[in-house]
Amino acid sequence: MNIDVWPVAVVTGVGPGTGAATVRRFVAGGYRVAMLARDAGRLAELEAELPEARAYPCDVTDTAAVDAVLARIRAELGVPSVLVHNAVAGARGRFMDIDPAVLERGFQVNVMALLHLARALTPDMVAAGRGAIVVTGNTAALRGRALFAGLAPTKAAQRMLCEAMARDLGPQGVHVAYVVIDAVIDVPWTRRAFGDRPDSFFMQPAAIADEIWHLAHQARSAWSFLHELRPYGEIW
C-alpha cells in the first residue's frame, strides 16, 4: 500500500476505553493509526482486529524510545498529520497524603510527553500547512478538589501547555484542541466500581472518539479549543 495515500494518526494511551475507541474511529475514517502504550499485549490484540492500526509499545516518558518509535512510524506508515494524546497518569489523594513521585510521574506523562511529541511532530504539520493535536483531559484541569491533588496540577499544566500551543500553531495551520471529559467513562473497571448506576451515568468511549474525530477535522473558519463533554444527567 502506498503510504503517501493514507493519512496517519498517532494515538497515545491506547487502553480499553477512549484510546481503543479513538483508534477504531480513525481507522474507520480512512487513517493508518500508530498506537502507543506500554501494554504490548493489548496493542497486539487491536492490531490483529484492525489491519490499518499498528502497535508501537513504548513508555511515552522515555524520550529516546519515543523518538525511535516516531522514526519507525514515518518509515512504516508515513508522516503523521494527527496526534491524539490520551496517555494519562495520576492518582486520587490529598496533598498531605500523595506520594510526590506519583505527581512527578503525572507531569512526565501528561505534560512533558505531550511537549516532546508535539515538538517532534508539528514541524512536519507546519510544513504541510495542516494538522491537528487533540488532548484528552478532565475537570481536574479546571479545578483542584481536595482529593485530586495527585492529578489536578498536572492536568491544569497540560491544558495551559495546549493553549500556548494552540495560539502558536493555529496561525500556522495546525489545530490544537483540549477535551474536558466530565464523566465516568464506561470501561469494565468503572462498571464494577459503580455497579449500581444506570447506563445513562456513563460516557461511552465511542462517543468521545466521535468528538475527537470531529475536532481533528473541524473547518478552519470555526476551530474550537476547549471542548467540554458530559452525559446529559451529569450535575455541573
Closest by Cα among 151, 137, 145 to 98: 151
- Give the whole-angstrom CA distance, residue 158 versus residue 13: 15
User: Which is it for strands 53-57 and 32-37: parallel, antiparallel or unpaired?
Assistant: parallel
Side chain identity, residue 74: R
Contacts of 69 (CB under 8 A, 6+ apart): 34, 36, 56, 58
- Residue range 70-124, pLDDT digits in tens: 999 999 999 999 999 999 998 889 999 999 999 999 999 999 999 999 999 999 9
Q: Structure pTM? A: 0.94
pLDDT higher than threshold 60 for residue 4:
no
Residue keyed to cell 477535522? 217
Q: How confident is the model at residue 2 (pLDDT cuts 50, 70, 90)?
A: very low
Task: Kindly write down the DSSP assignment for every residue of 4-57, as one continuous string.
Answer: TTS-EEEEES--TTHHHHHHHHHHHTT-EEEEEES-HHHHHHHHHH-TTEEEEE
Please name every residue paired with 9 in a beta bridge, in sequence order, or none if there are none.
33, 82
pLDDT higher than threshold 80 for residue 161:
yes
pLDDT higher than threshold 90 for residue 21:
yes
- Give the whole-angstrom CA distance, residue 227 versus residue 95: 28
Question: Rounded mean pLDDT of 219-234?
Answer: 93
- Residue range 39-51, pLDDT digits in tens: 999 999 999 999 9
- Note whether 154 and 138 are within 8 A (CB): no
Within its chain, how far is the Cα of 152 from the centroid? Answer: 17
- Note whether 36 and 62 are within 8 A (CB): no
- Note whether 86 and 14 are within 8 A (CB): yes
